[in-house]
Amino acid sequence: MGKLDGKVAIVTGGASGIGLATVKAFAEKGAKVVLADFNVEVGQAKADELKAEGLEVSFVQVDAGSEESVKNLVAKAVQLYGKLDVIVNNAGIGSLGEMHELSYDDYHKVIRVNQDGVFFGTKYAVQEFLKTGGGVVLNTSSILGLVAEAGAYPYVASKHAVVGMTKSAALQYAGRNIRVNAVSPGYVVSGMVNKEALGEFYDGLVAKHPIGRLGNPDEIAHAFVFLAENDFVTGTVVPVDGGYTAQ
């Protein structure tokens, strides 16, 4: 459909995994993409690599859990490219452990990035969209935004919140040409989630997916491209999870 050609997009958590795959997918469709990440060294290196491939990608550092940092990110994107059309609120962190042993600081660290980051990104992107006549907000939730898992209390809380935030914002702005959707990925192969790193635990993760394997970042990025391009989709959460939540 080519609807991303000439569009300006921000992807937070863009230096690795799903975020990096989404940056590349959008740029290959003709978008100008701001790769936003907390890690300056890796983020800049990845942006440089994509530029060397002929793609229009710029790096901006962001702390997704800081309102001032996200506000600056959106302003920088507009400064670089003159407008903003899409934001992908993808930055996220996890935690594992017993809920009754969890400190408030450790709990809120996850909420701050995963939930507050979506709020900040949506807030400042929508402010720009209202100036220009519309735009698209895309959020990364998780299978654990649809179902739960023991030992991941703050992560589950934050990702369930993203689902509700997505639907509420979609309804609020549907009449103003602003669409809001989310993707709920299953477990995806990454630098930390792979057979070598996890051993037998990896096989247990695979067994939870009826399709018989974990996902790869490109498969999640493809869902974001679809949601960015299809003008009739809003307020939806798309599981890309190998059947995990169908059970």
Contacts of 54 (CB under 8 A, 6+ apart): none
Average pLDDT across the chain, whole number: 97
Active site residue 244: no
How far apart, in whole angstroms, are the C-alpha atoms of residue 12 and residue 130?
21
- The yes-or-no verdict on residue 137 having pLDDT over 80 is yes
Assign 3-class secondary structure to 129-182. Answer: HHHHCCEEEEEECCHHHCCCCCCCHHHHHHHHHHHHHHHHHHHHHHHHCEEEEE
Question: Residue ranges per domain, the chain?
Answer: 8-246
Look at residue 191 in the predicted model and tell me its pLDDT: 82
Which residues fall within 8 angstroms of residue 188, CB to CB, at 6 or more apart?
Answer: 17, 18, 214, 215, 216, 217, 219, 220
Question: For the segment 106-126, what is each residue's pLDDT rounded down to a tens digit?
Answer: 999 999 999 999 999 999 999
pLDDT surpasses 80 at 2:
no
Out of 81, 124, 153, 155, pick the active-site residue: 155
Q: Is the pTM of this model over 0.95?
A: yes
Pick the CATH number of 8-246 from 3.40.605.10, 3.30.70.2970, 2.70.98.10, 3.40.50.720: 3.40.50.720
Please give the Cα distance from 65 to 119 (Å, whole number). Answer: 9
Summarize the confidence of residues 162-184 as an average pLDDT.
Answer: 98
Q: What average pLDDT does this structure show over 194-214?
A: 94
pLDDT band of residue 197 (cuts 50, 70, 90) is confident
Query: 62 with 38: CB under 8 angstroms?
Result: yes
Query: What are the CB-based long-range contacts (under 8 Å, 24+) for 99-108?
Result: 99/153, 102/153, 102/154, 106/154, 107/153, 107/154, 108/154
CB 246 within 8 A of CB 210: yes
Per residue in 56-101, pLDDT tens?
A: 999 999 999 999 999 999 999 999 999 999 999 999 999 899 999 9
Give the Cα-Cα-Cα angle 183, 38, 235 (nearest 5 degrees): 20
Q: 178: which strand partners?
A: 135
